[in-house]
A and B are shown apart, each in its own frame.
With several copies, the nearest count.
Chain A
Amino acid sequence: MARESVTVLLFGPARQATGTGELAWPVSLGGIPAQTLLRELARRFPRLAPTLRVSRFVRNGRYLARLSTRLRPGDEFAVHPPYGGG
């Protein structure tokens, strides 16, 4: 069921910069472009801004090709800082 928020997942350095791994980010029913949400995140968490500049973004499990893509209520939006597995 669509809630009136986007679920934002924050991994690795993004989690460290915000102090949380997951946020419910309120959006209007029509949604907002990903770049708008990123601007709002950077404003709320200034320490997150440098990480966002080197991250990739994943909407509902798929990499986002364009930051103009609209995120709608119920979407999952993940911030992927550079990977470090192994």
Chain B
Amino acid sequence: MSVRLTGHPLSVSAAMRALSGRGLGGVVLFAGRVRPDLGPSGPVVALVYEIHEMPALRRLRELEGAARRRFGAERVVLWHRFGRLKVGEVSAIVGAACAHRAQAFAATRYLIEELKASVPIWKTERARPSRRPRPRPSRRVGRSAG
């Protein structure tokens, strides 16, 4: 089982290793990447992710347990990055390894929907690299890297 909140880049090959185990024939991974949406102040060039660490970790661990009970997931990855991410960077990797693929698809879909709805993570758009000083970010996890 693997829950991780980090300021560093996320690796899908590391996620695959975390999802390894004998008898786990089906692995499904979801990776979220920063999209160049058009924000109110122009095209988005980056997102700043903030996380409230303690309640986020508690909720992620609950989701791990739910994926195991409801879908028979034997390995789970729930990784999220915080700080400033440029367009194209991976913000989250969510995945499940199960004996069979139908369970792995269902578990991974469940995990990403629940992560979005119920884990205290926020993203703020950056329309262009800002030169002026930004407001002091929230402490705990989630300070902007840029």
Contacts and interface: CB of A to CB of B under 8 A. Distances in A.
Of the four ranges (under 10, 10 to 19, 20 to 34, 35 or more), the interface on chain A belongs to: 20 to 34
Give the dominant DSSP class at A's interface: mixed
19 contacts: A9-B52, A9-B140, A11-B52, A11-B122, A12-B50, A12-B123, A13-B122, A15-B135, A15-B137, A15-B138, A22-B136, A58-B120, A61-B58, A63-B55, A78-B120, A83-B121, A85-B91, A86-B91, A86-B94
Interface in B19-70: 32, 49-52, 54-55, 58
B135 A80 contact: no
Interface in A15-73: 15-16, 18-22, 58, 61-63
B6 interface: no
**6 closest cross-chain pairs (CB), A and B:** A12-B122, A85-B121, A21-B138, A61-B54, A19-B135, A86-B116
Contacts of B54: 61
B83 interface: no
A10 interface: yes
Of the four ranges (under 10, 10 to 19, 20 to 34, 35 or more), the interface on chain B belongs to: 20 to 34
Interface of A: 9-13, 15-16, 18-22, 58, 61-63, 78, 80-81, 83-86
A83 B135 contact: no
Given A13-B122, A58-B52, A61-B58, A83 B139 contact: no
Interface of B: 32, 49-52, 54-55, 58, 80, 91-92, 94, 101, 112, 115-124, 135-140, 142
B139 A84 contact: no
Contacts of A18: 135
A50 to B, nearest CB: 16
A81 B138 CA distance: 13
Contact of B117 (A20, A62, A83): A83
A28 B32 CA distance: 45
Nearest to A21: B138
